[in-house]
Amino acid sequence: MSKVSQHTKGNHARKLMMFKLIFFAVLNFILSSAVLGVYINIDANEEQCFLERATTGTKMNLMFEVVEGGFLDIDVKIVGPDNKEVYRGERESSGKFTFSAHIDGVYTYCFSNRMSTLTPKVVMFSMNLIEAYKTSGTPETENADRYKLEDMVNELKSALLSVKQEQEYMQVRQKIHRAINESTNSRVVMWAVFEAFVLVAMTAGQIFYLKRFFEIRRESTYIIINQ
């Protein structure tokens, strides 16, 4: 009877631990999501860089989208603490890149608009870090269930961040398409107004011409009759 009671208590403790871990993971996700989706303005012939400190094994996920300016393109690069390039992209409109930190230190990622001489660019980006799972001690002394739960929570956090990124990516794409549609609609309206103005001007010109034509003809007929 005591063994059954201890087993029940153990299951209850594991469930409570799982609930706590999931709660803190979701709370951490909610708090970290507040910093997602940073908008920056990059002037022509300018480069802006940002720093992120990470430990070995940490997953780093960069997502970016050029929202406004020129041909909606930007140069991107990521450099590790050892000054080795982790990623480089040229004239990209959007992108997602995930990698694991190969050494401890500060990683630098830059957005460059140096290819442009006049047009500034507006870029939305987010950088998410998912720290690598670290164990303390040897497998014989560790609580296998606990670390298994922590692995599951880390996977859940990663999935939630991916969903959040996809959501922001779709929101940005929606804003871009909406801006394009509004610009197209405004041009169509302006062209329709111009066509209407030309049509009215041509109609008025034709009426004036016909009126003058009949007036001249009537005057000529009157002169001939008098003669």
The 10s digit of each residue's pLDDT in 43-71 is 999 999 999 999 998 989 898 989 888 88
Greater confidence (186 vs 131) lies with 186
Gap between the Cα atoms of 63 and 168, Å rounded: 10
Q: What is the DSSP string of 172-211?
A: HHHHHHHHHHHHHHHHHHHHHHHHHHHHHHHHHHHHHHHH
pLDDT at 103: 94
Gap between the Cα atoms of 110 and 79, Å rounded: 9
Gap between the Cα atoms of 168 and 158, Å rounded: 15
State if pTM tops 0.95: no
Beta-carbon contacts of 209 under 8 Å, excluding residues fewer than 6 positions away, are none
The 10s digit of each residue's pLDDT in 192-206 is 899 999 999 898 888
- List the domains of the chain with CATH numbers: 2-170 (2.60.120.680)
Quick one: tokens of 193? Answer: 């107004």
**Confidence band for 182, pLDDT divided at 50, 70 and 90:** confident
Gap between the Cα atoms of 80 and 55, Å rounded: 11
CB atoms within 10 A of CB 190: 10
